[in-house]
Amino acid sequence: MLTGKNIILGICGGIAAYKTPHLVRLFKKAGANVQVLATASALQFVSELSLATVSRRPVLRGLFELEGPGDEDKTMHITLGEWADALVIAPATANTIARLNAGLCDDMLSVCFITLRPDKPVLIAPAMDGHMYGSPSVRRNLSALAGQGCLILEPESGDLASGQCGLGRMPEPEAIVKALVAMLQPAGESALKGRQVVVTAGPTREKLDDVRFLSNYSSGKMGFAVAREAARRGALVRLIAGPVNLATPQGVERIDVESASGMLEAASRFFGECDLFIGAAAVADYRPENPVKGKIKKNDEEMELRLVRNPDILGEFSASRRPGQVSVGFALETAGGIGYAKEKLERKRLDLVAFNVSDGATTGFEVDTNALTLIDREGHVTELPVMPKGELAGRLLDAVEPLLPRR
């Protein structure tokens, strides 16, 4: 499964580090070459000798180690990033996650993260107490790393070292290997290979005046994950993004817009030539009828605001689509609402609708996970449970590919 692949395994100082010799053995059994990088704290939890024995390479810690893959190299902290096909960090502690997001590079692990070629995947498996994992700072750092293209492998629930029971356990080594194999799997004969795909993502902003706007909480993470996965499968992807703070996925052409009208204008340029249109953006349904120049002053106790309908981007595409083009939409509710999703499928003449319910914690806006119910025009329903949005994007496209006409 991983024959000939060069894997860097970064190990941080958490109790889950005791699982890493088994993880190295699984990588080796799958045919990979493994170089272990350990933070100073990691070796308080797992033996350096054990890791060196199962990996058959010395464990690297400091910046100027002289042994490792290939010949002696005084600049190994740079060349390791060229050597590697993937970087796995497991367990990833809150401290290391913060340092990676901040761009610090004062040990071998953090430098290799910085110097890894941008087309190589990074898999991060956080492991920590549940309260730590749920803290705003850790969630913010993980969101930023996910926005850079890292796959965050969500921890599991169970007994924790603190004596508590909850979310925070590092996934079992077998699950980590499976996730890495999926990341490294070539696009092969994907039905998306060579196809033109348009994805909309993020919110739109509708101006009230020159300093205020109407918008929503969409982060764009789901749409960006879909664009990233489509590009990985060999598609020619154009990503039309509302105002978000996310890095452009590798191999994706990005067009930034502000309003629903701007998103329609950008998207409509590709309506005629795309094979697949995925409307993942949370487009505002209404906009102020008459935006004010300058700033609206606070004068009266009340203010009336007249809103008018925004253009329907998915509807516009469906109205002009030619035979063979595939259209996918998203439908989000805060509770129930699957009937609305089915109605949207019919009204907008979609081939598939992805329905999800936002709970503000594990699904919906501004989180790294989601759950989808996929409904196609034949009435088939597929339930996808809560999982990282990167993984969910792959499952969504697995369902979309059979809808594309055969070449």
Question: 246 Cβ partners below 8 Å, 6+ apart?
Answer: 147, 202, 219, 220, 221, 224
Report CA dihedral (65, 71, 75, 76) to the nearest 10 degrees: -60
Give catalytic residue positions. Answer: 216
Residue 304's φ and ψ, nearest 5 degrees, are: -90, 140
Our measurement of the distance from residue 94's CA atom to the centroid of its chain's CA atoms, rounded to an integer in Å, reads: 19
User: Which residues is 369 bridged to in the sheet?
Assistant: 388
Our measurement of the distance from residue 265's CA atom to the centroid of its chain's CA atoms, rounded to an integer in Å, reads: 26
Q: Could you write out the three-class secondary structure of 305-350?
A: CCEEECCCHHHHHHHHCCCCCEEEEEEEECCCCHHHHHHHHHHCCC
Q: What share of the chain is helix, strand, coil (3-state, %, to 5)?
A: 35, 25, 45
Q: How open is the CA angle 254-281-378, to the nearest 5 degrees?
A: 115
User: Which residues is 352 bridged to in the sheet?
Assistant: 328, 376
Looking at residue 376, its amino acid is D
Residue in the structure block whose two tokens are 């024995």: 53
Angle between the N-to-C axes of helices 48-55 and 20-29, in degrees from 0 to 180, rounded to the nearest 10: 10
